[in-house]
Amino acid sequence: MRRGARDDKRFTGLTILAAATGFVLFLPPLLTAANDGGTVAGVPAVAAYLFGAWLAVIALVALVVRRSG
Amino acid sequence: MLTTWFVIGVSVTYLGVLFAIAFYGDRRADAGRSIVGRGTIYALSLAVYATSWTYYGSVGRAASTGVGFLSIYLGPTIMLALGWLVLRRIIHISHRHRITSLADFVSARYGKSVRLGGLVAAIAVIGVVPYIALQLKAVSNTFEIIRRAPEVTESSALGQVPLLEDTALYVALLLAGFTILFGTRHLDATERHEGMVTAIAFESVVKLVAFVAAGITVTWGLYSGFGDLFGQAAAAGHTALFTLGDSTGTWVWLNVLSLFAIVLLPRQWQVGVVENVDERHVKQAMWMTPLYMLLISVFVLPIAAAGLLRFGTGTDADTFVLTVPMAAGLDSLALLVFVGGLSAATGMIIVETVALSTMVSNSIVVPMLLRRGYRGRLARLILGTRRLSIVAILLLGYGYFRLAGESAALVSMGLVSFAAVAQFAPAIIGGLYWKGGTRNGVMTGLAGGFAVWTYTLLLPNFAATGWVPRGFLDHGPFGIEALRPEHLLGITGMDNISHGMFWSMLVNVGCYVVVSLLGRPQAREQAQAVLFVDALDDPSRPRLWRSRVPVRALHDVLVRSMGHRAAAKALEGVDLAVKSGQDADPDLVHHVETVLAGAVGAASARMMLTSVAGEEQLGVEEVMEMLDEASQVAALEERHRLARELHDSVSQALFSMTLHTRAVELALQKQGGDPTGPVARGITELRGLTQDALAEMRASLFQLRPDALREDGLAEAIRKQSAAIASREGVAISVEAPGYRLPLDDRTEEELFRVVQEAVHNAIKHARPGRIDITLLDDSVDLPGAVVIEVTDDGTGFDPATVSSGGMGLTSMRERMRRIGGGLVIDSTPAGSTTVRAVLPPATAGEAR
């Protein structure tokens, strides 16, 4: 296989992985664990969890994009 | 204190700035110095996703469902992470086939079907017009609220504003003007509107700044940070803020819905696919657009909390962003928020109407006219249709707002619109990855899904507005409880969106798959399926036009549909004076069809060409030919296998034969045999023959494997090729090259190899040399970092000045070197030898590595 095509496949694979991470983090059952009505440092726990997870997924995608050049 | 005229002045100034920016963007594009050639602009323009519905409505939803509003952004984050897999593929296909709308894409994928394109366009218009109404409502309401400052009015208490005093009407008219000016400036094969995109990117910045400014002021100005704000909210018993709201089922469905919406909403398709200038921008948007969404949502919950604390739960939470600063006396902030909301609404309306008008003109009006045998000038007609449909769509939206504006039902139209465009998902996603999907499958799937959507989501909305009797909703049609629109088969416990999505998707996907599998696709459908699904693997495209079309006829069609200038541009490089009477070659016909498709849509382009060329003869053989790619691959693999086996058996045997004959020769000499005797001569000859056979064998093996160059590297490939030529032509060829593989990319290797091949071939043909020396230098002393290849022969030379530049393949060699950024020097005299020197300078060589 050509080098360019192989890099492209690799990149696509990594982004699919990032999207899958998003699926796992954003949807139940992991989400339900955070949805307990409590607070974390004064902020609703479920909101803190979702924003944290969201930022993590964005960072992951940004990292993969940066690495691919 | 904000007077009405001041607010009007600010709004008009803002729209004026928008005009100026769009104008500037278009000017830059015309001058060839485009500003949309940047990933950031692309990522920002994708943020047109955040409309006034989310700008104001998110806070409203947060007040009742806590972080439930986030699903609208989390789905798109996942879809954009998959951007390289899905969006990039769609862009790639759309650009190659000059597809300029979603309807056109579906139509083109399934055999360029006119009816299918029309259906998609109709669904898009019906599904999205209420959404436009929603934007106008937001503009109208917020304007009324802000002009009554400092008194805080709830939007439910606003009542209907008289028609001529309604800001929404003027905004709609102004936006129609803007959209016509910048969205239908000219008929272009790419349908790109750079000015518009620039303005949209600017609007994205404005709404983000306004919302974040409001959020920061509320959180740290009116309260002392998140902790304080949420602490007070908890103490006041606003527990809804601390949950996910709704059921988790709803949460999942909303994620799925918005996941599709980020690509399939007509405006998203317009900015994401049609206006995309470079596929690589997708990479930037993959993280930047979600980051934008995150930033614009951070303060939704705090503002909702502040609004609840200030006004209590019974009030209209949708306008908290505006009313909280107003109640605190922060007039200028309120004005900024209003402008932000205005930008969110106008951005959405502009792009949405451009996208819809393209669909209406290319997928509904033009095909209809062509069907009826319209033969007049199309260019002007298409532009006229687009302008007219822009006005019509905006007025439709405005009319819908006036009729349904008072009811709360309009607010829920946002998600209902999402559900309408989600109906395109099976056709498009399936069409990208599954060759088996057929036109009939999509037709039934779409029609079925849309019917279920109408029944379970649109009609209940009408019922809530009062257009349909409510009893229909509560007891089902004719009192049949199992057919209640929001509780089909008596299912309860699902909210209306999840319920509607479940049933419509079930019918849609079900019909698509079942009908596709049971039916038999037509030849043309299969052809298009192959083109779309294998889009990324196959750089060449099959020639579909086999009928004979005179070039003149093609020219006429182009002039008729796009005007003289565009036609001349499309046929650039074709000498009309000479060729106009001749038949066009299939490539040219294909080119013209693609260009036409950009202006009038794929289905119409096909119809127009059919009208001049006669029904095309796309027989079973041609389609088989295209589907035969797989067997071609199989043939290649077979050749590989053969080459490997020959190498392992015959080549090895020949090699041992040369060793053995040499051994016999030596043994004979040792035993004192006569070196000139018949035995010795025979053996020497035998050794020569074996060696020749071995060289010949190696050359044949090399030719059996078409990608040998790629596998062996440039130096090794030149060595093997030279050995083959040397044994065939009886010339001594020496190759001096580094023992390692030069780190060049495939294309550079290929071009350099061809240049060497051509040079050697030339030398043998014209110079009749005794020997040829090939030197390959990587990083030579006089040119560090460069790659230099020299081919020198000792035959009769020529005077480079007298040989016409086109002769001896010199042009093609020069052209090859130029393509990879290198140069070619030929040094020859009629008396002496010839040296062809190909140089790849250090910079290019470095890049090609």
Please confirm whether the linkage preceding B678 is cis (ω < 30° from 0): no
Q: Do A43 and B745 touch (CB under 8 A)?
A: no
Looking at the complex, report in whole angstroms how far the Cα of residue B249 sits from the nearest Cα belonging to chain A: 9
User: Per DSSP, what are the bridge partners of residue B788?
Assistant: B777, B839
pLDDT at B848: 52
Q: Taking the CB of residue B310, how many other CB atoms lie within 10 A of it?
A: 16
Q: How far apart are CA B788 and CA B837, in angstroms?
A: 7
Enumerate the residues of chain B whose CB falls inside 8 A of the CB of residue A23: 78
Q: What is the number of H-type helices and E-type strands within chain A?
A: 3, 2
- In the three-class reduction of DSSP (H, G, I as helix; E, B as strand; rest coil), residue B834 is classed as strand
Put simply, the answer to whether A22 touches B77 (Cβ < 8 Å) is: yes
Calculate the average pLDDT of chain B: 83
Contact B191, B200 (CB under 8 A): no
Number of H helices, E strands in chain B: 39, 5
pLDDT at B305: 93
Burial of B481 (0-12, 13-18, 19+ CB in 10 A): exposed
The pLDDT value given to residue B688: 84
Among B255, B283, B291, select the one facing A26 at the smallest CB separation. Answer: B255
Helices marked H in B457-550: 459-465, 471-475, 496-518, 523-533
* Of A25, A29, A28, residue with least CA distance to A50: A25
Strand partners, B838: B789, B824
pLDDT value of position B343: 92
- Give residues with Cβ within 8 angstroms of B740, minimum separation 6: none
Q: Give the number of C-alpha atoms closer than 13 A to the C-alpha of residue B805, restricted to the C-beta side.
A: 5
The secondary structure of B91-134 as a DSSP string is HHHHHHHT--SHHHHHHHHTTS-HHHHHHHHHHHHHHHHHHHHH
Q: Find chain B residues with C-beta within 8 A of A2's C-beta.
A: 710, 746
Pairwise CB contact (< 8 Å): B286 & A15: yes
ipTM entry? 0.95
DSSP annotation string for B574-633: --HHHHTTSBPPHHHHHHHHHHHHHHH-HHHHHHHHHHHH-S----HHHHHHHHTHHHHH
Measured distance CA(B607)–CA(B371) in Å, rounded: 8
Tell me how many residue pairs between chain A and chain B have CB atoms under 8 A apart: 112
Do A57 and B77 make contact, defined as CB atoms within 8 angstroms? yes
The list of chain B residues with pLDDT below 70 reads 1-2, 149-150, 152-160, 186-191, 246, 405-411, 537-547, 575-581, 613-637, 703, 705-708, 780-782, 800-809, 843-849
Distance from CA of B379 to the nearest CA of A (A): 40
Beta bridge partners of B733: B772
Return the closest-CA partner of residue B99 out of B718, B606, B574.
B606
Strand, helix or coil for residue B837: strand
Q: Cis peptide leading into A29, omega within 30 of 0?
A: yes
**Interchain pair B244, A18: CB under 8 A:** no
Q: Which residue of A has its CA nearest to B79?
A: A19
C-alpha Rg value of chain B to the nearest Å: 35
Is B283 in Cβ contact with A19 (below 8 Å)? no
* Rg of chain A over all Cα atoms, to the nearest angstrom: 16
Q: Decide if A18 touches B, using CB distance below 8 A.
A: yes
Amino acid at B442: V
Chosen from A2, A21, A27 to mutate, greatest number of chain B CBs within 10 A: A27
The pLDDT value given to residue B215: 95
pLDDT digits (tens, 9 = 90+) for B332-387: 999 999 999 999 999 999 999 999 999 998 899 988 888 887 777 777 788 888 89
Taking the CB of residue B73, how many other CB atoms lie within 10 A of it?
25
Which residue shows structure tokens 């594009």? B29
pLDDT for A19-35, tens place per residue?
Answer: 999 999 998 888 888 77
Residue (of B102, B573, B111, B374) closest to B366 by Cα position: B374
Q: Is the dihedral of CA B12, B14, B18, B21 positive or negative?
A: positive
pLDDT score, position B543: 46
* Cβ-nearest to B85 among A12, A27, A57: A12
Could you say which DSSP state residue B793 is in?
Answer: E
Question: B432: distance to nearest CA of chain A, Å?
Answer: 16
Identify the contact set of chain B against chain A, taking CB-CB distances under 8 A. 66-67, 70, 73-74, 77-85, 225-228, 230-231, 234, 239, 241-244, 248, 251-252, 255, 283-284, 286-287, 290-291, 294, 298, 301, 710, 745-746
Q: Which of B82, B227, B290 sits opposite A16 (nearest CB)?
A: B82
The Cα B753–Cα B299 span in angstroms is 61
Write down the pLDDT at residue B617: 47
Identify whether the C-beta of residue B405 lies closer than 8 Å to the C-beta of residue B168. Answer: no
CA dist., res. B118 & res. B574, Å (int): 34
CA distance A9 to chain B (A): 10
**Nearest-CA distance from B536 to chain A in Å?**
10
Q: How far is A67 from chain B (nearest CA, A)?
A: 11
**Amino acid, res. B550:** P
- Between CA B734 and CA B774 the distance in angstroms is 6
Measure in Å the smallest separation between the Cα of B286 and chain A Cα atoms.
7
Look at residue B407 in the predicted model and tell me its pLDDT.
Answer: 63
* Nearest-angstrom CA–CA distance, B730 and B424: 66
> Cβ contact (<8 Å) for A32 and B248?
yes
pLDDT at B806: 47
The pLDDT of residue A2 is: 52
Percent of chain A with pLDDT over 70: 91
Output the 3-class SS for B345-402: HHHHHHHHHHHHHHHHHHHHHHHHHHHCCCCCCHHHHHHHHHHHHHHHHHHHHHHHHH
Q: What local confidence, expressed as pLDDT, does residue B277 receive?
A: 87
* Whether B265 contacts B351, CB under 8 Å: no
**What whole-number distance in Å separates Cα of residue B312 and Cα of residue B692?**
97
B77, B79, B241 member nearest A58 (Cβ): B77
Cβ–Cβ below 8 Å for A35 and B244: yes
Beta carbons of B84 and A12 less than 8 angstroms apart: yes
Residue with tokens 């205005």: B342
Nearest to B81 among A4, A19, A44 (CB): A19
Cβ-based neighbour number of residue B686 at 10 Å: 16
Cβ within 8 Å, pair B242-A61: no
Report the gap between the CA of A5 and the closest CA in chain B (Å): 9
Quick one: angle between helices B4-30 and B194-216, nearest 10? Answer: 140
